[in-house]
Amino acid sequence: MVVKVYGPDYATTKVVLVCLIEKEVEFETVHVDGFKGEQKQPEYLKLQPFGLFPVVQDGDYVLYESRAILRYFAEKYKNQGTNLLGKTIEDRGLVEQWLDVEAHNYTPPIYNLVKIYFASVLDGVP
Ligand SMILES: N[C@@H](CCC(=O)N[C@@H](CS)C(=O)NCC(=O)O)C(=O)O
């Protein structure tokens, strides 16, 4: 069954798409319009109770949180496509280290900047 990826074609959804391409996993996207607030609608909240994207559906299995999704597909398709986890426990330690750096040191400040930018664009302020 083809994996479904819920989200817009920007932001964190892209990270999941890159992972699926690298792992050579067939997928289809289900567009969720963040600007219309579709991620806060009751149907979507059944998939992702925090109203955020991305979400993936792999058969009956539903998963959200982008890094959890990356780990899931990297493990599930360990022997298919690009090796994303390394060959040794030391490699894996470095993968986990950089996933944490990205989660805690990179994304929070970047996300704040993006929110400020979009708020000013939506308010019509250049
Ligand atoms: N920790 C979550 C963060 C998800 C997240 O913040 N997604 C943003 C886009 S990058 C979102 O859904 N924004 C819409 C909103 O805040 O309503 C993950 O990595 O999946």
Q: Which atom number of ligand 1 is nearest to the Cα of residue 34?
A: 14
Q: Is 39 in the pocket of ligand 1 (CB under 6 A)?
A: yes
Q: Is 12 in the pocket of ligand 1 (CB under 6 A)?
A: yes
Q: Which residues contact 124 (CB under 8 A, 6 or more apart)?
A: none
Q: Which residues contact 29 (CB under 8 A, 6 or more apart)?
A: 4, 5, 6, 7, 9, 13, 17
Query: What is the amino acid identity at position 6?
Result: Y
pLDDT digits (tens, 9 = 90+) for 9-39: 888 999 999 999 999 999 999 999 998 999 9
CATH architecture of 1-83: 3-Layer(aba) Sandwich (3.40)
**pLDDT confidence tier of residue 125, bands split at 50, 70 and 90:** low
Ligand 1 centroid – CA 78 distance (Å): 26
Q: Is 66 in the pocket of ligand 1 (CB under 6 A)?
A: yes
pLDDT at residue 24, as a whole number:
98
pLDDT digits (tens, 9 = 90+) for 86-117: 999 999 999 999 999 999 999 999 989 988 98
pLDDT digits (tens, 9 = 90+) for 52-90: 999 999 999 999 999 999 999 999 999 999 999 999 999
